[in-house]
Amino acid sequence: MKIPGFLMDRPMNQQHYDIIIAGAGAAGLTLLYYLLKSRLHSQISVLLIDQSLQPDPSKTWCFWDHSSFDIPEIIYHSWNHLTVSALGESYSEDLLMNKYHCIRSIDYSGMILQEARKSESVTLLKAEIRGFASAGSGATVETSEGTFSAGMIFQSALKPSDFSTSKVDVSLLQHFVGWEIECREDLFDPNKAILMDFDIEQLNGVTFMYLLPFSERSALIEHTLFSAEILDQEQYEEAIRDYLSKRFHLTPGSYFIRRKEFGAIPMEDRVYSSFYCPNVMNLGIVGGLAKPTTGYTFKRIHNRCKSIVRHLEEGKMPEEKRESQYRFRVYDMMLLSILKNETKNSIQIFHDLFEKNSFDRILDFLDEKTTIPQELSIFSSLPYLPFFRSIYRMKHRIFTGA
């Protein structure tokens, strides 16, 4: 097996590693997972740095797949029946190809941190990450515990160095508060998830409820918005209380809240750089891996990390890469522009999308796995005027390939 040159040409000492992973969230830990499973594992030294190296209880990560996920044992719950409601109508379907999965960050980070602690190749460092610089054929990271160097650094902690000057026309957030609740009586069907329920007040931008039942009595329920401004915590929570009351006749005394989560995921047409500086690769959210129109990031992180490790195993440098093909970037730009400027039409689009297309086809489309004829068929099922207007608004980006 060939070892990439940059992994070999440095002296080994306390401050130098073959690879530094800066940030031990979903991206950093996923990269570490694939490195630990790779043929390189016993031949490289890895430094993992984060401000916290404890299992993270704060998130649930959901994604769908055609049974291709590499760590099925870590999946907490899966659903094969989804519902979307909009404009007073509900569309429900059994998925035939995909399954919708949920992973708890506490399980995922706990498992990978435990493997890291057992490995002789990995050093864990609790420290604040302050900056990166390239240095010769490698790079350095400056932390509260000193400066460390490596042949290659993968970072998911700091925004890219050119963040403030990168091109962006639409900058929204997918922001939400979620409650994991436990009820006193059976209420939910653990096989059926509500992917999006738009039949709620639309006061601050495109807004929906998301409900993932884990058992007859427990579920995660999230009040989610696609908009530019984060709300006060109480506004999300009031909306959740209201939904539980109207939809499930639950009064606050009839359930208790096991856990809360908050998220704000960028939904932008920003062009993210692959590298912070030479030999420092951006990963995860700061690497632009969030799908601009959905916020789903977790599976993209897996795909990217697998590809990086494959390159390293083949003795190659990981390549600079745009996450999406150009036509999918254009679709994202159009839909982002509609989400920002046309709330009512956005909901009509979601309604028509799920009314007229199979859920499996839509999920594959969102995964950017569809063919052009399939995409034309999807677009022909949607109102076309909002898309024409969005092309006009975004023409300087769409027609310049930016």
Ligand X SMILES: Cc1cc2nc3c(=O)[nH]c(=O)nc-3n(C[C@H](O)[C@H](O)[C@H](O)COP(=O)(O)OP(=O)(O)OC[C@H]3O[C@@H](n4cnc5c(N)ncnc54)[C@H](O)[C@@H]3O)c2cc1C
Note the residues at the interface with ligand X (CB under 6 A).
Answer: 23-28, 50-52, 59-63, 128-129, 156-157, 261, 263, 265, 284-285, 296-298
Minimum distance of ligand X from residue 289's CB (angstroms): 7
Nearer residue to ligand X within complex by CB, 55 or 190: 55
E strand or H helix at 193: strand 192-197
15 versus 51: smaller Cβ distance to ligand X: 51
Integer Cα distance of 26 and 108 in angstroms? 8
CB of 315 to ligand X, least distance (A): 26
Nearer to ligand X, 203 or 264 (CB): 264
User: What gap in Å lies between CA 89 and CA 17, rounded to an integer?
Assistant: 57
* C-alpha count within 13 angstroms, C-beta hemisphere, residue 357: 24
Gap between the Cα atoms of 8 and 44, Å rounded = 9
**Structure token pair of residue 347:** 């909901």
Tokens for 13? 């000492």
Closer of 60 and 83 to ligand X (Cβ)? 60
Closest to 209 (Cα-Cα) out of 222, 190, 219, 218: 222
Q: How far is the CB of 193 from ligand X (least distance, A)?
A: 12
Q: How far is the CB of 296 from ligand X (least distance, A)?
A: 4
Q: Least distance in Å: CB of 159 to ligand X?
A: 10
- Shortest distance, position 208 Cβ to ligand X, whole Å: 14
The residue among 209 and 382 lying less far from ligand X, judged by its C-beta, is 209
Residue with the two structure tokens 């994202």: 332
The values of phi and psi at residue 156, to 5°, are: -130, 25
Q: Residue of minimal CB distance from ligand X?
A: 25
- Choice between 112 and 394, CB closer to ligand X: 112
HSE on the CB side for 91, CA within 13 Å? 19
Rounded Cα–Cα distance for residues 297 and 215 (Å): 25
